[in-house]
Chains A and B, each alone.
Chain A
Amino acid sequence: MSTGNMNLTLKVWRQKNNKTKGALVDYKLSGISPDMSFLEMFDVLNEDLITKGEEPVVFDHDCREGICGMCSMFINGRPHGPKDLVTTCQLHMRSFKDGDTIVVEPWRAAAFPVVKDLTVDRSAFDRVIAAGGFISVNTGNAQDANNLPIPKMKADAAFEAAACIGCGACVATCKNASAMLFVSAKISQLALLPQGQPERYRRVQSMVAQMDAEGFGNCTNTGACEAECPKGISLENIALMNRDFASAKFVSEETV
């Protein structure tokens, strides 16, 4: 059982709501254990604040096992902090040193307005999916699953694209606040599978249109999104999306 001995200085973004201005506020923390997760360290901070009669920091989190995509802190200039391929909830304090100063901010993008403190509104992602991120098959319309063999390589590639957790780190880290990695991951998943073919070109047009309408920026091939994605979603998905988008506009019979 560990009782910790790390001392930290936190600079945390505090903002009452989307109508007020925010600012970084300093907090000192001591007795932090290296075995704590980053969010458990925030639990300690909030418990302190409540005891002192102050308002705790509001931050999004839920599963705390790296899969729900809810946690979303921008830590020392990187979404989900310094480690590759992990979400904030899976980041542990052993990745920091005693005496460190840690700056924690919300995701910053026009399409993700701040709700309060470190919590932002990511509903733009849901609207992009609602625009076409699906296969139109009503319940009860399916044939036997093994009537449609799918080459393992294709299935595995679709799975890798489908591993996206919709956290928004790609948008947060992109200098253009582009959502292309997120959008292309869903487009790829469905474009790689035979089930996704009938709506393939319709889908890419609808989703891209919605992405633009939400105010996300364009892609300039920097690759920060891929580097920061906690699930390792590949830039190749963006290439596939662009190819399909071009095909849709120039070759497909169906334009949306």
Chain B
Amino acid sequence: MSDINSNIPEGELTSKWTKYKSSVPLVNPSNKRTIEVIIVGSGLAGASAAATLAEMGYKVKCFCFQDSPRRAHSIAAQGGINAAKNYQNDGDSTYRLFYDTIKGGDYRAREANVHRLAEVSANIIDQCVAQGVPLAREYGGLLDNRSFGGTQVQRTFYAAGQTGQQLLLGAYSALERQIGMGKVEMYTRHEMLEVVKIDGKARGIIARNLITGEIERHFGHAVVLGTGGYGNVFYLSTNAMGSNVTAAWKAHKQGAYFANPCYTQIHPTCIPVSGDHQSKLTLMSESLRNDGRIWVPKKKDDNRKASEIPEDERDYYLERRYPAFGNLVPRDVASRAAKERCDAGYGVGASKLAVYLDFKANTERYGRIEASKSGIHNPDKETCMRLGTAVIKEKYGNLFDMYAQITGENPYETPMRIYPAVHYTMGGLWVDYNLMTSVPGLYCTGEANFSDHGANRLGASALMQGLADGYFVLPYTIGAYLSKEISVKAIPTDHPAFVEAEERAKGILNKLINIKGTKSVDHFHKRLGHIMWEKCGMARNEKGLKEAIEEIRALRAEFWSNVRVPGVVEELNPELEKAGRVADFIELGELMCIDALNRNESCGGHFREEYQTEEGEALRDDENFAYVAAWEFKEGVNFELHKEELKFENIKVAQRSYK
């Protein structure tokens, strides 16, 4: 079935990576000094790779579009990072983390990659602590853990609700150290616009200096894209405003396959949309589901305040439907359940597109524990609530403050209103076991690749994957390629391939600025987002997807004839930056719908209404769809499907159950 080679090493699953590491070809120190590596992106995956490769002796150039590498969107990750440390002595192991991740991904991820991820997870925590990342600790001075969805152990390390920030600042400081030593050249406010290929291999990039508008050529023996996910194809998402697919999409157009684009994660706990002015959605960390209970009224169209609805008139629907995992079911399951209740007319708030996340029961429980610690017997309810609120504040204070700031409501007094929102994209550039795309010398790491999360990512696994790729995987696997490149001298950037790639990039910029139409870039982006959310969002069906494809094609034609981009190319011009990104999102949106239409099954974040069990759960078709869909770009925005068969040799494939 497979017509592409994932280059998974032979041997037992548990020893593949160890054997690979000890047999992978090495590059000697004097050769490393002359080998140049380009890293695009400075988030967890990019910054960690740039720092580590520079430490190893390679010449590194790192690019980011923000004004500082510290601002990459990894910084916004709240909840935590998984690692199979078993510090809580609750039966965790590398195998369990591997198993939970494969199951959580609904059996659509590659076993060998996921096992490697679980193996290196523990090293990440060690490395970050050594860098001075202030992870949460217990009074004994040891690291603290909490639970996350889709698991029954406590393996999530965290730093209040700012885990991504602290981990990124760790990677950023390692990167800045190399910059200070002159081993990494950092290019901030630069956007990659093309991959340069020479004799079929990636040999550099074309980037635009966003301040001056100048187009620059940069050579590299290899190019690594750590450019994040494409959730902003939906316009509204929890991504940063600048998060985009452009680097990955340009690579795709140069021959890198795009895998499983329809696998998008809709996060169950976000602050609901408040109006048409909304520019982005804000996540409330999944960690809140440790202590928050999700409910809706039992009565339809119940307009009473939450506090006026008595206990027996509340439907804790996750606890009812999934007693074993309760409020901690995986994200896809929790999101669909919220949509199901709201669609059925039980939603709350002004828009009726929200459910409650209620901390009262656990606040009281914590209060009772605190009271007993201080020797108060039979404490009254008020005392319990007061003491418990302090505990909740310590755990989630910054999230509660953020909620209050955005909604104007006090979540310590009334339950939060939440609704699912686009958060993460499991799909991305196809990579083999070495994290190399289908273009030799072009690598892809972190959220930008497709490799480890299958059809659904478990909470606290994104930070793990980004840092695993950058600190512990890519630095080894890239050696396998670079060891064969030691005799290649730096190619001068007046080579015809650079000239041609630069012309392509300039052609697009000039075309965009000269359309001089009547509608803003945001106008088109919002319309694209609307089509994607309605027809390729939490639930999809054949009819809707076919309509969406037609609508997106029409939108693309309209965009290229009627978009208005003010200003000129040769200056700081955020509208021009956005225009290029939205042009790529429109093409990607079409591919996502094509992929969703091709996958006649439901799995993880991809829910096709035609394929569900009687209870409304996702119904996989392992016989026909246990493959990675890797799409090849063809002239004129067409796509050809390649399949990589997924073989499960160590895990018994089963219907996912969290009941």
Q: Please determine whether chains A and B interact with each other in the same assembly.
A: yes
Instruction: Report which A residues bind B (CB closer than 8 A).
Output: 1-4, 17, 33, 35-37, 39-40, 43-44, 47, 49-51, 53-56, 58, 60-70, 85-86, 90, 92, 94, 115-116, 119, 121-123, 125-126, 129-146, 148-152, 155-156, 158-159, 162-163, 165-166, 189-190, 193, 195-196
**Stretch touching chain A among B122-130, B372-380, B491-499, B537-545:** B122-130
B36 to nearest A CB, angstroms?
Answer: 19
Contact check, A116 vs B275: say whether CB atoms are below 8 A apart. no
Contact check, B71 vs A135: say whether CB atoms are below 8 A apart. no
A116 proximity list for chain B (CB < 8 A): 571-572
Other-chain residue from A4, A44, A123 in contact with B188 (beta carbon distance below 8 A): A123
Contact check, A62 vs B240: say whether CB atoms are below 8 A apart. yes
Other-chain residue from B67, B69, B127, B472 in contact with A122 (beta carbon distance below 8 A): B67
- Sample of 10 A–B contacts (CB below 8 Å): A37-B279, A39-B279, A92-B406, A116-B571, A126-B70, A126-B179, A130-B179, A140-B127, A142-B126, A159-B134
Chain B positions 105 through 129: 1 when the CB is less than 8 Å from some CB of chain A, otherwise 0: 0000000000000000001011111
Contact check, A1 vs B134: say whether CB atoms are below 8 A apart. no
Interface of A (DSSP majority class): loop
Cα distance, A56 to B402, chains bound together (Å): 29
Contact check, B276 vs A1: say whether CB atoms are below 8 A apart. yes
Cα distance, A60 to B572, chains bound together (Å): 11
B159 within 8 A of partner (CB): yes
B529 to nearest A CB, angstroms?
Answer: 14
B131 within 8 A of partner (CB): yes
Which one of B51, B52, B566 has the highest number of Cβ atoms from chain A below 10 Å of its Cβ? Answer: B566
Contact check, A51 vs B132: say whether CB atoms are below 8 A apart. no
Contact check, B70 vs A134: say whether CB atoms are below 8 A apart. no
Contact check, B76 vs A142: say whether CB atoms are below 8 A apart. no
A129 proximity list for chain B (CB < 8 A): 70, 172-173, 176
For this complex, into which size category does the number of interface residues on chain B fall?
35 or more
Contact check, B408 vs A92: say whether CB atoms are below 8 A apart. yes
Cα distance, A86 to B177, chains bound together (Å): 30
When A130-B177, A150-B141, A196-B132 are in contact, do A162 and B73 touch as well, CB less than 8 Å?
no
Cα distance, A22 to B437, chains bound together (Å): 47
Other-chain residue from A85, A135, A156 in contact with B132 (beta carbon distance below 8 A): A135
B278 proximity list for chain A (CB < 8 A): 40
When A115-B211, A138-B55, A155-B137 are in contact, do A70 and B125 touch as well, CB less than 8 Å?
no
Cα distance, A145 to B145, chains bound together (Å): 13
Chain B positions 333 through 365: 1 when the CB is less than 8 Å from some CB of chain A, otherwise 0: 000000000000000001100000000000000
Contact check, B126 vs A143: say whether CB atoms are below 8 A apart. yes
Contact check, B159 vs A159: say whether CB atoms are below 8 A apart. yes
B142 within 8 A of partner (CB): yes
Contact check, A68 vs B406: say whether CB atoms are below 8 A apart. no
A247 to nearest B CB, angstroms?
Answer: 19
Contact check, A43 vs B279: say whether CB atoms are below 8 A apart. yes
Other-chain residue from B238, B274, B472 in contact with A139 (beta carbon distance below 8 A): B472
A17 proximity list for chain B (CB < 8 A): 571-572
Cα distance, A156 to B134, chains bound together (Å): 8
Cα distance, A135 to B71, chains bound together (Å): 20
For A133, the closest partner residue in chain B by CB is B173
For A157, the closest partner residue in chain B by CB is B134
Cα distance, A44 to B277, chains bound together (Å): 8
**Stretch touching chain A among B11-19, B161-169, B197-205, B321-329:** B161-169
For B574, the closest partner residue in chain A by CB is A58
B71 proximity list for chain A (CB < 8 A): 62-63, 68-70, 166
Other-chain residue from B142, B143, B351, B566 in contact with A54 (beta carbon distance below 8 A): B566
When A92-B405, A123-B67 are in contact, do A195 and B131 touch as well, CB less than 8 Å?
yes
B401 proximity list for chain A (CB < 8 A): 85
For A190, the closest partner residue in chain B by CB is B132
Contact check, A35 vs B142: say whether CB atoms are below 8 A apart. no
B160 proximity list for chain A (CB < 8 A): 159
A73 to nearest B CB, angstroms?
Answer: 15
Other-chain residue from B240, B277, B405 in contact with A40 (beta carbon distance below 8 A): B277
